[in-house]
Structure 1
Amino acid sequence: MGATVWHCHIAVSLDGKIARPDGSVDDWLAADYPAEDFGFGAFFAGVDAILMGRGTYDALRCFGDWPYPGKPTIVLTARPLDALPPPGVEARSGDVAAVAAELEARGYRRVWIEGGGQVIRSMIAINKLDLLEMAVIPVILGDGIPLFPAGTGELRLRLARCEAKAKGALHLVYERIG
């Protein structure tokens, strides 16, 4: 069994925001920049599990049906999830390194670090971000949730792929060095 690949596939504004302050993305992202234009379908098919923060989970629950049926999903949170979380969704709290070790022990080959910024920061801190794949959207939000919040540690990357997309967007893939 090979090592787990920790892969963040995320959309980001030109000024480094992953959502508006209220967590919304629909007015600047979803309509004009479909995820499939950035290889999301193929990426998602290769994901064994999803790791996300509580804010991301709560935002997704507002959309109605759970968008990731059949994919084991771990939500990093100190609070209990709603009374009836979707099948396959589990809450975890405490040491992020212990949660990562648990997912590796389960044999997951590729884990999607979905977000938000605090989870990404935590995974960088424990050296568990191997691939950073971004849809860079040509909009400046000015205010919002940053991809890399204050306190994010250093991470050296090399550009593996850069593709220009419709309406001025870029699809970037970076690999961790070392």
Structure 2
Amino acid sequence: MKKTILYIAMSLDGYIARENGDIDWLEAAEGEGDNGYGDFIKSVDTVVMGRKTYEQILGFQMEFPYQEQDCYVFSSERTGRDENVQFVTGSPDSLIRKLKAKPGKDLWIAGGGELIHHFMKEELVDSFMIAVIPVLLGKGIPLFQSGFSEQALRLEKVQTYKQIVVLSYEKK
């Protein structure tokens, strides 16, 4: 069965971005190769993200990186399609159930913090792949906001890429 995977990097103190959304600190981390990203992206055919994350990707001044995947962006401000994504509104639950019913590869929740919180509240994440970056930001956008039910996990794998550690967990 298809899985919904949260694959994301966080600082050692649990932040996915600075308060202003900046992720410049990711570039300073000493990794190895692509830190496993190439293998991961081959395992998914769908990417789901929030509007702020999408706009941040567009600001990188490069070709849209997920042209091989179906992409959905949750937004309360935009509807329809653009050249890269389908904009969606409402609860993630109905979209994810529909996408998981289709044949194909796994689904990737690419960010950001608000969307991850909705996924956690609705218990829609099956697997967690969290790259821990050796930096303490002190403040920022937390990976996990409070306000969701306890969820037991099982550690599946630990991978190291020089200074970066990727922790892989499955829901019990």
TM-score scaled by length of structure 2: 0.89
Q: Structure 2 residue aligned with 1:40, among 29, 37, 40?
A: 37
Distance 1:46 1:104 in 2: 14
Q: Indicate whether 1:62 and 2:36 are aligned.
A: no
Equivalent pairs counted in the alignment come to 171
33-42 vs 156-165, which moves further: 33-42
Quote the RMSD (CA, aligned, Å).
2.1
Give 2:124's match in structure 1, choosing from 124, 128, 148. 128
Q: 2:157 aligns with which of 152, 157, 161?
A: 161
Q: Deviations over 1:12-42 (max 9, x none)?
A: 001100011122212x112434584431100
Shift of 1:152: 3.2
State the identity %: 35
Gaps of 5+ in 1: none
1:103 Cα deviation (Å)? Answer: 1.4
**Does residue 174 in structure 1 map to residue 172 in structure 2?**
no
> Which structure's residues are more often helix, by fraction?
1
TM-score, normalising length from structure 1?
A: 0.86
Q: Is the 8 A contact 2:45 2:68 kept in 1?
A: no
CA offsets 1:105-153 (integer angstroms, 9 cap, x no match): 3334300011112222222222221110111011111111110013233
What 5-or-longer segments of structure 2 have no aligned partner? none
Aligned to 1:74: 72
Map of 1:118 onto structure 2: 114
Give, in angstroms, the shift of residue 43 of structure 1.
0.5
The match for 1:29 among 15, 26, 46 is 26
